[in-house]
Amino acid sequence: MSEPPVIELDGVYTSFRGHPVHRDLALRVDEGQIVGLLGGSGSGKTTLLREILGLHRPDAGMVRLFGVDLNEPDVQLQRNLRRRLGMLFQHGALFSALSVFDNIAFPLRELRCLDGDWIRRLVHLKLAMVGLGEGHGKLMPAELSGGMVKRVALARALALEPELLLLDEPTAGLDPDRSQNFVELIGDLQRELGLTVIMVTHDLNTLAGLATHVAVLADHHIIAYGTRAEIMTIDHPFVTGFFGADRRKLL
Amino acid sequence: MSDIPRLRVESGRVVLSGAWTLAEMLPMLESLQSALGGLPAAGQHWDLTALTRLDSAAAVLLWRTWHGAWPASLEIGEMHRQVIVRVAELPQEMPAQPVARVHLPEFVGRLLLKAAANLRGMIALFGQLLLDGNYLLSHPRDIPWREFTANVYKAGLLALPVTALVGFLIGVTISYLSALQLKSFGAELFIVNILGISIIRELGPVLVAVLVAGRSGSAMTAQIGVMRVTEEIDALSTMGVSRSIRVVLPKILGLTVAMPLLVLWTSAVALLGGMLAALLQLDLSLVYFLENLPRAVPVANLLIGLGKGFVFGFVIALVACHFGLHVKPNTESLSANTTSAVVTAITTVILADAVFAIFTRQIGVPQL
Ligand SMILES: Nc1ncnc2c1ncn2[C@@H]1O[C@H](COP(=O)(O)OP(=O)(O)OP(=O)(O)O)[C@@H](O)[C@H]1O
Ligand SMILES: [Mg+2]
């Protein structure tokens, strides 16, 4: 047994005000996988990501990242763990008081190891990766369009070169061209760096172009997890409803 | 996984191996940087084939080591070359953003202009209120009663405990201090005049104004400001709901109505505190105090106090709403405007108080 799985959830229970969201949820993601997380609106996908990040503590159950339990009390260990992951929030969550440039530079400056020139180059590199120019760096988050917010947020999530990338609806609000660019970018990064990616998405093209594995969240837990081909064969109302006539497209 | 980034130099060959990623490099960043920096400028053969991973942070580091040009002889896997190509495509020079220098006259001038703009904004808001009032007179069904009463409740009723507590303590303090002085003159009975005039005419209204500016004024600015940040204000106007009638007017009217009542309440509690302290310190009975209060303090003082409350409430709410409406959609501006709202409201209240003092100097002073 060599590497622990990147993400391991087991027996996770979550409820909000008595309403269950997750019930006995289990998921295991290995290094290098790109997992598409599917589920109906309000099925608890964002909540699941928040639990993986340690932003929300489940009522019961275990969450392990890189083999480290999130309930481990060692602060330094937890902090180093957080540096290994990047998150793209559903609504961007950019720092509204900082410019685009400073938003992306912020996590890099927090390391207190890189000099100014290095940070500037990295920020411009990330901006270029998501298809934004140098001029966009001076804008404030309130001056961005919805899709640009997504792209800046992605650039910020990539700033620390994370090993695990969590993406909450990364292509919602992007035009098809940009979505395609995004798929290629993440695909390239994955090949170059061996990233592990979990992404919530409702977009079949993104899913078909990127995901190596698919996890389906329905009925409060992961009803199916496997490669795209395996998921196709599942006979569950959500899966058949989601893919509908497009079943073949995913293959 | 945890393969450490390594650098080996052997007779004109530089061999990099391991995972050159930000996370792996961090613990040994200094030694790596100095090792790379110590290499002779050119004529090296670079062997990067043994790299397991190369991320863009490391690519930037290498590119800087190469002084922004591809080395003459380089062996590298195709995938890793792509990473460096991305860095190579960036412009070579990355000038730092110039930090804006601030000059004193410019700073003062900007401050004055801002103050003038704020004054203008408040006058405009006042004008808008008059127009709204005019509109509501002819369309009484649109009067936002619910929001108005909610504001009276929030700014008035919920403020009763804190204003009472502060008023009581101030009353006790002033009474004690004055009693000490009066005793040495043998003029204990004048405690009624001192407490009555100072609390009813001056301290009550100003005390309440300061408390309310901090309590309700900041809340109003923050609420309207957040509504702007989250575009709720825009959502309101798309539904054809006037933001000034539904959001601003009830707040201003609510506080204007609630303030005189709060002033009355606080002055009463402060007098009670003063009376109790006088009872303990000077043996002045409560009955004597109450019987002499109307004689020592002409009723005009009460009216002045209430009038002040009325004006202060209006000013605080107007200032708070003005700053709330000018919040820019970011957290920094929200906090700056909330601060400005409270500071400006308190300053304006004190100014207005001075104006009151000048214009009412003949009124309500007991003739002995
Ligand atoms: N902080 C919270 N307090 C109370 N209930 C919450 C909270 N966060 C989420 N919920 C509830 O949990 C459920 C799952 O929410 P979640 O945001 O995870 O859905 P989602 O799968 O991400 O949906 P979508 O695809 O629409 O983004 C919803 O029913 C929501 O009402
Ligand atoms: Mg969600």
pLDDT tens sequence across B298-348? 999 999 999 999 999 999 999 999 999 999 988 889 999 999 999 999 999
Residues B263, B199 contacting (CB under 8 angstroms): no
Where would I find the beta strands (DSSP E) of B34-138?
45-54, 73-75
Which of the residue ranges A187-196, B53-62, B128-137 has the most confident prediction, judged by mean pLDDT?
Answer: B128-137
A180: its two tokens: 């395609």
Domain B6-89 has CATH 3.20.20.10: no
Which of B60, B91, B330 is nearest residue A96 as measured by Cβ atoms?
B330
Q: Is the pLDDT of residue B88 over 70?
A: yes
pLDDT at B12 over 80: no
B46 confidence band (pLDDT: 50, 70, 90): confident
- What is the strand order of the sheet A34-39 is part of? A85-88, A164-168, A196-200, A34-39, A213-218, A221-227
Q: Which residues share a beta bridge with B75? A: B47
Chain B closest CA to A246's CA: distance in Å? 33
Query: Which residues of chain A lie closer than 8 angstroms to B94, CB-CB?
Result: 117, 120-121, 124
The answer to whether the Cβ–Cβ distance between B333 and A97 falls below 8 Å is yes
CA distance A101 to A122: 10
Name the CATH topology of A1-84+163-251. Rossmann fold (3.40.50)
CB A85 within 8 A of CB A165: yes
What is the helix (H) or strand (E) element at residue A47, kind and residue range?
Answer: helix A45-53
Contact (Cβ atoms closer than 8 angstroms) between residue B211 and residue B316:
no
**Ligand 1 touching residue A42 (CB < 6 A):** yes
Residues of chain B with Cβ-Cβ distance to A194 below 8 Å are 53
Task: Output DSSP code: residue B214.
Answer: I
Please report the atom of ligand 1 found closest to the CA of residue A45.
Answer: 21
Q: Work out the average pLDDT over B189-201.
A: 90
Which of A3, A68, A108, A121 to mutate to probe the B interface, most B CBs <10 Å? A121
- Find the DSSP H helices in A84-216: 100-110, 116-129, 146-158, 176-193, 204-210
pLDDT digits (tens, 9 = 90+) for A166-179: 999 888 878 888 88
What mean pLDDT comes out for the span A182-210?
A: 86
In chain A, domain spans: 1-84+163-251, 94-161
Chain B residue whose CA is closest to A81: B23
Q: Which residues of B touch A (CB under 8 A)?
A: 1, 21-23, 26, 29, 53-57, 60-61, 63-64, 79-80, 82-83, 86-87, 89-91, 94, 96-97, 229, 328-333
**The two three-digit tokens of residue A207, written as one number:** 């899913």
Nearest to B71 by CA among B46, B88, B51, B50: B46
ipTM of the complex: 0.80
Q: Which of B25, B61, B55, B83 is nearest to A195 (CA)?
A: B55
- Are A175 and A151 in contact by the 8 Å Cβ rule? The answer is no
Which residue ranges make up each domain of chain B?
6-89, 133-359
